[in-house]
Structure 1
């Protein structure tokens, strides 16, 4: 594990830079984002090699090859950046910038905050438009409580995917660890679905993403329990996490979602409609109200900020301890 002080402080810097600046929209319009570059490659391979489950074995093989090539390319670029950063003055700044672009703490907050603001100012139509940008379910008929629940669930799950997991894999393997994790996570988000089209082509991406998130998702659940000691209901967060997480369709998403549901004294999950109208009868997580609204999204965002303060405090503490022990 890369627990040297330099790696930890690099992650501290990346976390703070991304938290303060996010990823500038002007830069995104100009060159895109590393995740969008990965997405283009995955989409190209999907369109070229996926028979949409007509040839299951071939789809599985091509999906696996797509994933392996993506990991190889992304890993090679990340290793190249690390090598370059060690050869030039202040090269750590290059590595820090790349790490920051692969974190999503600020962008996650902004996206969920946009949902709340749009719902409050523009009503259901505006709220549906914004929530459709961050969830995969059908949003056309969602009411306020459905939009609010989806926003809070997305905030909880993506705290793991966008913040805790990249930091965890950064501690394990530095920038290459973060980059490879993001590559797999991006592949899972695009092709790792239980749909006729991606059942076989995306199977390897889905399974590897499940594996890479086993530890981070549970750490995120525990993070929310700790955050609830400061603001929320820690006992309910812990109880909901241990009781309900295993009932989620995902082996990982239930941990942060159930913990946040308990902390906020509400219920998340439940039946929802995806893409082509398929209804998934998912389990409820937590206990309490289901009639959620804009104010509940805002409460969840406050809770999220407290969790992020705890994350940076833990990183700084780890950096100090590692420095003393060295």
Structure 2
């Protein structure tokens, strides 16, 4: 347990310093290729009918999660057998690659920089790289909201949730979560193509994120108080609007973010040419502005650091007691 905690601490620090270097291969790329390949095989085998596609989706989830965790476990086992130091080093690297605190900040700040230096069209292109919605017709306000919402939601999906699972089960816990979350991001849509094939992946992601999303919201609220945002409003909007989303988890951190920044987020959005009617989150006390993207990143970092410190303290205490 102590070695697993040390690897996670090193991985956490590496993520804050280095982020996700684009020159390095990332495990999520492998998981994504596995999902794509498995989907192609299953679509050839199973008829294009509701029940058949749901069964295919279940098999895809079982196969992708199992292969991802077993392959990562095998690599760690081999590395450990070669030399304990190699096994520990690989654990550190896996923990680092399961987290995305710096890359979330970097990619969202690209939207801020594009709006500042090149204008709306550049902002639309930049935000299209981090959201799934259609961005071609977004106003500047829409671009900013999309970036802020992405930071809020992915604080949980990209950082605090994998951190939670790695605290429970080491680097393999992170791989387990990333396999589920990557499937949801690739096939967990309610459009014609994935409505039935992606059902299982989407539901499993909802379950996997249920506790982390709520933990993330609480730490984000605490960070709002610590960093001088409107903590009282963050808590108020969280209590009121945390269920204003079809996903049971997405609005948890978005509600805190909206309250802390005193803006209104969410609302109707276009995905793949189809308009999705969505409730709003927060009160329009003021209009969103470009600086809100920077503020959202500060709140993300604050929440992540607070969660990390508390969880490390709890796990260290458990190691000491055991």
If the length of structure 1 is used for normalisation, what is the TM-score? 0.92
- Assess if the C-alpha contact under 8 Å between 1:53 and 1:59 holds in 2: yes
Counterpart of 1:59 in structure 2 is 53
CA-to-aligned-CA distance 1:67-107 (integer Å, 9 cap, x gap): 11111111111222332344313121111101111111111
C-alpha contact 1:38 1:183 (8 A) present in aligned 2: yes
Aligned partner of 2:270 in structure 1 is 273
| Corresponding residue for residue 302 of structure 1 | 298
| Runs of 4 or more above 6 Å deviation | none
Number of residue-to-residue matches in the alignment: 318
Asked whether 1:259 is paired with 2:256, we answer yes
Is 1:53–1:199's contact at 8 Å kept on the other side of the alignment?
Answer: no
Task: State the partner residue of 1:84.
Answer: 78
Is the 1:62–1:201 contact (alpha carbons within 8 Å) kept by the matching residues of 2? yes
* 1:319 CA displacement: 4.9
Distance 1:93 1:68 in 2: 29
Query: What is the alpha-carbon distance in structure 1 between the residues aligned to residue 114 and residue 178 of structure 2?
Result: 29
Partner of 2:20: 23
Where structure 1 has 5 or more consecutive residues not aligned to the other structure, the ranges are none
Q: Does 1:291 align with 2:291?
A: no
Residue 6, structure 1, aligned to residue 17, structure 2: no
- Structure 2 gaps, min length 5: none
Match of 2:153 in 1: 157
Which residue of structure 2 lines up, in the alignment, with residue 46 of structure 1? 39
Q: Match for 2:200 among 201, 204, 208?
A: 204
**Cα shift at 1:244:** 0.5
Q: In structure 2, what is the Cα distance between the partners aligned to 1:270 and 1:293?
A: 17
Deviation (angstroms), 1:325? 2.5
- Secondary structure of the residue aligned to 1:279 is strand
SS of the aligned residue for 1:26 comes to coil
Structure 2 match to 1:135? 131
CA distance in 1, matches of 2:150, 2:246: 15
Alignment check: 8 A CA contact 2:167 2:311 kept:
no
Displacement of 1:50 in angstroms is 3.6
User: Which of 61, 67, 77 pairs up with 1:73?
Assistant: 67
Alpha-carbon separation, structure 1, partners of 2:161 and 2:181: 10
**173, 182, 195: which is aligned to 1:177?**
173
**Cα gap change, 1:133 to 1:268, in 2 (>3 Å):** same
1:293 to partner: Cα distance? 2.4
Using a 3 Å threshold, how does the CA distance of structure 1 residues 53 and 130 change in structure 2: closer, same or farther? farther
- The aligned residue for residue 209 of structure 2 is 213
SS at match of 2:278: coil
Tell me how far apart the structure 2 counterparts of residues 312 and 165 of structure 1 sit (CA, whole Å).
11
Query: 2 CA distance for matches of 1:161 and 1:200?
Result: 23
Deviations 1:149-176 (A, max 9, x none): 0101100110111111101111222222
Aligned to 1:37: 30
Which residue in the other structure is 2:220 paired with? 224
Which of 77, 84, 89 in structure 2 is aligned with 1:93? 89
- Greater relative contact order structure (CA < 8 Å, 6+ sep): 1
Bigger shift: 79-88 or 43-52? 43-52
**1:314 aligned to 310, 313, 317, which one?**
310
Does the CA contact (< 8 Å) of 2:262 and 2:286 recur in 1?
no
Q: Does the residue aligned with 1:96 lie in a helix, a strand or coil? A: helix
2-structure distance, mates of 1:9, 1:236 = 37
What displacement does 1:306 show? 2.0
Q: How many angstroms apart in 2 are the aligned matches of 1:46 and 1:72? A: 15
